[in-house]
């Protein structure tokens, strides 16, 4: 059952209240079949077992949860280690002004027009205001997701960090330790299925070169970190990376009156073509996972090869400052602390900075994920399943998990760990296997149904004998002859 909760801000007669009333009718009309159907499970010691535990309460985790609730899978829980309203990057380390995706993209709405962002926005500000929007303000996207969570009654436990999953064969479920981030006692949850919806870095970690990470922490930060930009007033700042987040952080430092900001990158020129815009069509978004391995590999390798560019507005936001300097073909060869400053050497000389900010993205490596410590040795990676031609070799792609058609992990050695298929990787790590899925708004319209269908399929097939028993006992008479 979906427990709809009117928003506290949606006063009677307002646009948002009217939208919620219409949405409630939509959900009621589309509720067939209405009954919850998944059979309850308990461990041998009597503990209740969740049908699905979703780790991560951002846009992906919430959308998966709603998809399951619509399919009448109600014994679920979302856990997130952030405070309420702060899941995902939108109000923490995302430092752009707007989302980078076109405003008309859909996904979390599960094809319900009254649930999409545009409807929520127009209900509060009007259709004319929507026409004036070019890109969605990031804080407003976070507010939309917060409304989505509360109105749809999605069960979320905040300040809760999941630890290493372990398989309990005797109970047919995973044990997941949960550490409270707000002083509560630790506990262990049991779950038949686990969805990892842990974001861009959910199949590895944010990457920082070792030469930088060895420096005193006061001299450097990652774009993912909480950064005191006010403290950079009048300071020299060096940035590594040519992607959007590097430019975002450069802009914030400049807007806080940093004396000068220098951005360094390896390429000869900045990418100016956005492969993600090419990919926004039904064929790729819906059917990339249907291609043979060689084709899936070459498509994603080409997208990565083209590189992540700073969008037009992101680029010009930084370039508007005369004290912003770009350095092409300038990888950092060394970084040292000298007299309280960070000295960075490139092929074109050595530069001294008061603060370094690393924006070099993420590295894919499942061994770095705390949730997978007990499972990772048995998880199949792309390098275990496919060997590309030498000219198409790509080390990072080879470390990506080789996922099944519904985002489920696969065994490295068949028969050794069949329970791995009950863990679903809805993160950026699914890129070569299934294209844009977790951590990407662009692909949610097509990836969410695949994931939800994979979960319901397993829940039904695993209990097929018990369901048959209920059929054998079914004796509800519709009339007396």
Q: pLDDT tens, 362-406?
A: 999 999 999 999 999 999 999 999 999 999 999 999 999 999 999
Does residue 286 fall inside a structural domain?
no
- Average pLDDT estimate for 45-60: 97
pLDDT band at 10 (very low <50, low <70, confident <90, very high): low
Does residue 299 fall inside a structural domain?
no
Do 427 and 198 touch, CB atoms closer than 8 A? yes
Question: Chain-centre distance of CA 62, in angstroms?
Answer: 11
| pLDDT above 80: residue 7 | no
Tally the domains of the chain.
2
User: What is the reported pLDDT for 440?
Assistant: 86
Task: Let me know whether 374 and 253 are in one domain.
Answer: no
Nearest to 278 by CA among 250, 302, 254: 302
CA angle 108, 112, 118 (to 5 degrees): 70
Measure the CA–CA gap between 110 and 67, rounded to whole angstroms. Answer: 7
Measure the CA–CA gap between 361 and 307, rounded to whole angstroms. Answer: 11
| pLDDT above 80: residue 13 | no
User: What is the reported pLDDT for 345?
Assistant: 98
pLDDT band at 12 (very low <50, low <70, confident <90, very high): low
Does residue 412 fall inside a structural domain?
yes
pLDDT band at 337 (very low <50, low <70, confident <90, very high): very high
Tokens of 379: 């998880």
Does residue 471 fall inside a structural domain?
no
Nearest to 459 by CA among 433, 451, 404: 451
Q: DSSP string covering 437-476, please?
A: BTB-GGGHHHHHHHHHHHHHHHHHHHTHHHHHHHHHH---
* Residue where the block lists tokens 């990418």: 271
In angstroms, the Cα distances linking 21 to 7, 71, 231, 373 are: 11, 21, 48, 45
Measure the CA–CA gap between 121 and 380, rounded to whole angstroms. Answer: 43
The residue out of 360, 381, 403 marking a domain boundary is: 360
Tokens of 467: 């369901």
- For 166-180, how does the pLDDT look when each residue is reduced to its tens digit (9 = 90+)? 999 999 999 999 999
CA torsion through residues 273, 300, 405, 424, sign? negative
CA angle 372, 401, 165 (to 5 degrees): 15
Q: What letter does residue 408 receive in the DSSP assignment? A: B
Straight-line distance from the first to the last Cα atom of the chain, in angstroms, rounded to the nearest whole number: 35
Q: What are the helix (H) ranges across 97-243?
A: 117-125, 127-132, 138-151, 210-213
Task: Let me know whether 346 and 370 are in one domain.
Answer: no
Report the mean per-residue pLDDT for the chain: 95
Q: Is 174 helix (H, G, I), strand (E, B) or coil?
A: strand
Task: Let me know whether 448 and 429 are in one domain.
Answer: yes
Task: Let me know whether 119 and 182 are in one domain.
Answer: yes
Does residue 10 fall inside a structural domain?
no
User: What is the reported pLDDT for 416?
Assistant: 97
Residues counted in the chain: 481
Q: Is 394 helix (H, G, I), strand (E, B) or coil?
A: coil
Specify the range with the lowest mean pLDDT, choosing from 286-290, 426-430, 477-481: 477-481
Task: Let me know whether 457 and 419 are in one domain.
Answer: yes
- Average pLDDT estimate for 27-44: 96
Nearest to 375 by CA among 162, 181, 157, 185: 162
Does residue 5 fall inside a structural domain?
no
User: What is the reported pLDDT for 481?
Assistant: 86
Measure the CA–CA gap between 342 and 350, rounded to whole angstroms. Answer: 10
**10 compared with 146, residue with greater pLDDT:** 146
pLDDT band at 4 (very low <50, low <70, confident <90, very high): low
The CATH number of the domain where 256 resides is what?
3.50.50.60
| pLDDT above 60: residue 323 | yes
- Average pLDDT estimate for 190-207: 96
- Average pLDDT estimate for 51-66: 98
Tell me the pTM. 0.95
Look up the domain containing 154 and give its range: 15-203+364-466
| pLDDT above 90: residue 283 | yes
Q: What letter does residue 234 receive in the DSSP assignment? A: T
Task: Let me know whether 219 and 81 are in one domain.
Answer: no
User: What is the reported pLDDT for 436?
Assistant: 93
Task: Let me know whether 93 and 56 are in one domain.
Answer: yes
User: What is the reported pLDDT for 9?
Assistant: 58
Nearest to 83 by CA among 158, 148, 179: 158
Q: Strand 362-364 relative to strand 355-358: parallel, antiparallel, unpaired?
A: unpaired
- For 88-111, how does the pLDDT look when each residue is reduced to its tens digit (9 = 90+)? 999 999 999 999 999 999 999 999
pLDDT band at 8 (very low <50, low <70, confident <90, very high): low
């Amino acid at each position: 059952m979906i427990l709809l909760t009117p928003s506290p801000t949606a006063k009677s007669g307002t646009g948002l209240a009217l939208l919620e009333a219409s949405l409630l009718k939509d959900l009621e009309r589309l509720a067939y079949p209405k009954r919850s159907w998944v059979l309850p499970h308990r461990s041998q010691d009597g503990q209740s077992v969740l049908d699905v535990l979703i780790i991560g309460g951002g846009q992906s985790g919430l959308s998966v949860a709603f998809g399951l609730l619509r399919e009448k899978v109600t014994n679920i829980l979302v856990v997130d280690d952030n405070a309420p309203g702060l899941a995902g990057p939108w109000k923490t380390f995302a430092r752009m002004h707007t989302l980078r995706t076109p405003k008309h993209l859909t996904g979390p709405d599960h094809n319900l027009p009254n649930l999409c962002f545009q409807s929520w926005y127009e209900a509060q500000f009007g259709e004319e205001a929507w026409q004036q929007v070019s890109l969605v303000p990031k804080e407003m996207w976070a507010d939309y997701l917060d409304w989505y969570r509360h109105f749809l009654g999605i069960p979320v436990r905040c300040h809760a960090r999941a630890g290493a999953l372990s398989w309990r064969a005797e109970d047919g479920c995973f044990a997941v330790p949960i550490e409270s981030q707000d002083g509560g006692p630790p506990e262990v949850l049991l779950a038949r299925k686990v969805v990892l919806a842990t974001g861009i870095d959910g199949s590895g970690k944010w990457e920082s070169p070792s030469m930088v990470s060895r420096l005193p922490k006061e001299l450097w930060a990652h774009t993912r970190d909480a950064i005191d930009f006010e403290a950079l007033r009048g300071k020299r700042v060096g940035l590594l990376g040519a992607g959007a987040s590097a430019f975002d952080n450069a802009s914030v430092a400049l807007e806080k009156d940093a004396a000068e900001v220098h951005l360094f990158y390896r390429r000869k020129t900045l990418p100016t073509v956005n492969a993600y815009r090419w990919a926004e069509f039904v064929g790729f978004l819906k059917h990339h996972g249907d291609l043979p391995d060689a084709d899936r590999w070459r498509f994603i390798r080409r997208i990565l090869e083209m590189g992540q560019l700073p969008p037009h507005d992101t680029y010009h936001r930084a370039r508007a400052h005369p004290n912003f300097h770009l350095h092409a073909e300038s990888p950092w060869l060394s970084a040292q602390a000298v007299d309280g400053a960070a000295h960075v050497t490139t092929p074109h000389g050595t530069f001294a900075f008061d603060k370094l900010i690393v924006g070099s993205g993420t590295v894919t490596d499942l061994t770095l994920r705390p949730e997978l410590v007990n499972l990772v040795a048995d998880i199949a990676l792309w390098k275990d399943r496919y060997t590309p031609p030498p000219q198409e070799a790509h080390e990072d792609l080879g470390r990506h998990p080789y996922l099944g058609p519904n985002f489920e992990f696969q065994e490295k050695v068949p028969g050794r760990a069949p329970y791995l298929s009950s863990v679903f990787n809805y993160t950026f790590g699914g890129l070569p296997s299934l294209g844009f899925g977790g951590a990407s708004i662009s692909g949610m319209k097509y990836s969410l149904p695949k994931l939800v269908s994979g979960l319901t399929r397993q829940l039904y097939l695993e209990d097929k004998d018990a369901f048959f028993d209920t059929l054998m006992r079914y004796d509800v008479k519709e009339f007396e002859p």
